[in-house]
Amino acid sequence: MEGTYKYSYKVGESLLTSLSVYNVGHQKCGPGYQWGPGIRNHYCIHHIISGTGYYSVHGDTYKLSAGDTFILYPDTEVKYYADTEKPWEYAWVGFMGTDASSIIRSTDFTREKPYIENGKTPKRVLKNHLDKIYEVKGNSHEASVAMTGALYTLLAVFMHYAGHREPSSDIQLAYVEKAKNYISTSYSYPITVEDVAAYAGISRSHLYRSFQAYEQQSPKEYLSNFRIKQACRLLKETSLSIASIAYSVGFENNLYFSKAFKKVMHVSPSEYRQN
């Protein structure tokens, strides 16, 4: 439709673990343009620049307009659509990482109220930061760092203007985040699930139940997948031998590393590097 446009960028592969951009873009929608019902596997913030639209989640529908900002939570079914008379225009950024949930809990976004009204945050500042993320986009390690830096700056604005937030009462989630942070800093050592549980301060069985609840996988699977992800980066960006990479990401047995890598990536480490 004349007058509508969309430009977006999706990152090919996340190279950072604490926080990374999944996609970023800007869209002027046509009347009634709709996304969903559907779910995302990451957080996604939409800042409305002009017009009006509707956001439906958990059985509630919110009418939102210029200056409002709404968030999509991972693995949560949503639907959002433009008004038929004054369709909205918005900029967005999708992101993920071990820091994401704790940062969002430090803002005024909540699952009960997944939007922030116009006037609570400086809309010109928000748009400028969203534009900056798009400006520095790219799939290189340098671009990933630049995009993540701009994303941290954007999220800091929401944190700065947040009202008083009570500490999270969800202790189980806090254990999961503590464990994930430990894995992200210690994966290159031969740590075990027992080590992770000890660091989090809970039993292995408690850690298992917590990961199943919030990550839909066991701590062992999360640790292995995290290491494989780092191995992929080293295979792409360095000339290290397969054995050296195995040791670098916490596998002391090269054969076990190759089996674990193929189980996740469906190709051997050498084939992944060649491709």
CATH number of the domain encompassing residue 154: 2.60.120.280
Indicate which CATH number applies to the domain containing 235.
1.10.10.60
In this structure, the answer to whether residues 17 and 148 fall within a common structural domain is yes
For residue 45, is it within any domain? yes
In this structure, the answer to whether residues 139 and 36 fall within a common structural domain is yes
Q: What is the pTM of this model?
A: 0.63
Residue 166 scores a pLDDT above 50: no
Q: Which of 160, 180, 196 is the last residue of a domain?
A: 160
Residue 13 in 3-state DSSP? coil
For residue 36, is it within any domain? yes
In this structure, the answer to whether residues 31 and 65 fall within a common structural domain is yes
Q: Which of 139, 160, 181 is the last residue of a domain?
A: 160
- Look over the chain and give the mean of its residue pLDDT values, rounded to a whole number: 90
Work out whether strand 5-10 and strand 60-65 pair parallel, antiparallel, or are unpaired.
unpaired
In this structure, the answer to whether residues 185 and 89 fall within a common structural domain is no
The count of other CB atoms within 10 Å of the CB of residue 37 is 11
Q: Cβ(33)–Cβ(81) under 8 Å?
A: yes
Q: Report the pLDDT value the prediction gives residue 172, as an integer from 0 to 100.
A: 79
Q: Report the pLDDT value the prediction gives residue 34, as an integer from 0 to 100.
A: 96
Omega prior to 37 cis, within 30 of 0:
yes
The count of other CB atoms within 10 Å of the CB of residue 269 is 24
- Segment among 10-24, 124-138, 242-256 with least mean pLDDT: 10-24
Q: Which of 263, 256, 193 is nearest to 223 (CA)?
A: 193
For residue 166, is it within any domain? no
In this structure, the answer to whether residues 43 and 113 fall within a common structural domain is yes
For residue 165, is it within any domain? no
In this structure, the answer to whether residues 73 and 181 fall within a common structural domain is no
Residue type, 75: D
Looking at the structure of the chain, the number of domains it has is 2
Q: Which of 111, 129, 160 is the last residue of a domain?
A: 160
In this structure, the answer to whether residues 220 and 140 fall within a common structural domain is no
Q: Report the pLDDT value the prediction gives residue 105, as an integer from 0 to 100.
A: 84
CA 112 to chain centre: 20
Question: Which residue segment(s) compose the domain that 225 sits in?
Answer: 171-274
